[in-house]
Amino acid sequence: MTRLPASMRRHLGAAAAIGLLLLVLQIVAIVFAPAIAPYSPVDADPLNSLQPPSTAHWFGTDVSGMDIFSRVVFATRINLLISIVAVAGAFAIGVPIGLVIGFYKNPLSSLVMRAFDFIQSFPVFVLGMALVSVLGQEVWNVAIVLAVLFIPMFARLIRAEVLSLRERPFISAARCSGATDLSIMFRHILPNALTPVIVQVSISIGMAILLTAGLSFIGAGVRMPTPEWGLMVSTGAQLMILGVWWVALFPGLAIVFSVLCFALLGDYARAVTDPSAETIS
């Protein structure tokens, strides 16, 4: 941070502040959803279908008369739950794998790396779509599939760090003082290797939100009437052609702000941990 010129630091501060504000808004939406939402997110009201935004329905109503504002607020829960669980899972599995395959140089390690190369060569969305539709279109399956798709990313990042840390003198020192492989890996290498992964966590949550929404949009994810942003956009897709804009607009905006939030926070974390990195500001 200290190496950035003052004007850049100010911009970065503004970007991070917006990111933080959006995060707080989302946490509030998650915790207080029942208090904020004026209507139930899943109860249909056919007499009030497709009402444009008004004081009674801030974001209007959809085809079955459900209040879009209430659904957007409640959807924060399911969208962030899926994304955070997926990224946490990928982190919990990918980090130890990366640590081990970076620490031990043997054919098994390079085989695992080749397997990761290979998984990453599939178009993410295509593989995700196929896996979810094969495993069954449940909320948990979406999270599991995204976690599997993200594991190589985390393992690879950690491995790259471990490869250079492994040769450093403090590792030799630890070994001389009788530390076991396990304690060297987890107590000495891991804390020093985590920085780039922390940045990746934030960016990955944003990616997971986009993928979840995309999967639900094509019908390979969460199903009605569960409030989920991508699914809500898909219910408004046909209406958009007829000029009914509010059904798809608001959940889409929610996706944009949510992903933006994690991108800004990731960018901020990168700027703090790596002063040489190019940032958005």
Partner 1 sequence: MKSFFSMWRRLPRPLRIILSRVGILVPQMFGVMLVTFILIRLLPGDPTLLLLGNMATPEAIQSLRERLGLNDSIWVQFLHYVGNVVHGDLGTSIFTSNPVLTDLQERAPATLELIVWAMLVTILIGVAVAVAATVRRGGIIDHASRIYGLAAGAIPDFWVALLLIFFLFSLAGIAPAPFGRIDALLTPPQRITGFYTVDSLLTGNWEALGSAAARLALPVLTLTIVNAGALMKLTRTVFGDVYRSDFIRHARACGLPERVIVRSALRNSLPPIITLVGFLFGFLLGAAVLVETIFAWGGLGQYAVQAVTNSDYPALQGFVLVAAAFILLVYMVVDILYEFADPRIKV
Which residues is 67 bridged to in the sheet?
61
Residues 83-122 touching partner 1, rule: CB under 8 A, are: 118-119, 121-122
230 is a site residue for partner 1 (CB under 8 A):
yes
Contacts for 34 with CB less than 8 Å, ≥ 6 apart:
none
Q: Does residue number 66 form part of the binding site for partner 1 (CB under 8 A)?
A: no
Structural tokens at position 25 = 């808004």
Pairwise CA distance, residues 89 & 151, whole Å: 8
Q: What residues numbered 145-174 form the site for partner 1, per CB under 8 A?
A: none
Which of 134, 164, 186, 274 touches partner 1 by CB under 8 A? Answer: 134
The answer to whether 124 contacts partner 1 (rule: CB under 8 A) is yes
- Triad 236, 212, 262: Cα angle to 5°: 105
Q: Are 262 and 210 in contact (CB under 8 A)?
A: no
Please identify, using beta-carbon distances, which residue of 44 and 210 lies nearer to partner 1: 210
Window contacting partner 1 (CB under 8 A); options: 72-80, 128-136, 151-159, 162-170? 128-136
Helix, strand, coil content of the chain in percent (nearest 5): 75, 0, 25
Q: Choose, by CB under 8 A, the member of 107, 123, 169, 191 that binds partner 1.
A: 123
Residue in 217, 235, 265, 271 binding partner 1, rule: CB under 8 A:
217
Q: Can you give the length of the chain in residues? A: 281
**Residue 242 in contact with partner 1, rule: CB under 8 A:** yes
Burial class (CB in 10 A: 0-12, 13-18, 19+), 89: middle
Residue ranges in contact with partner 1 by CB under 8 A: 15, 118-119, 121-127, 129-131, 133-136, 206, 210, 213-214, 217-220, 230, 233-234, 236-237, 240-243, 245, 248-249, 252, 255-257, 259-260, 263-264, 267, 278, 280-281
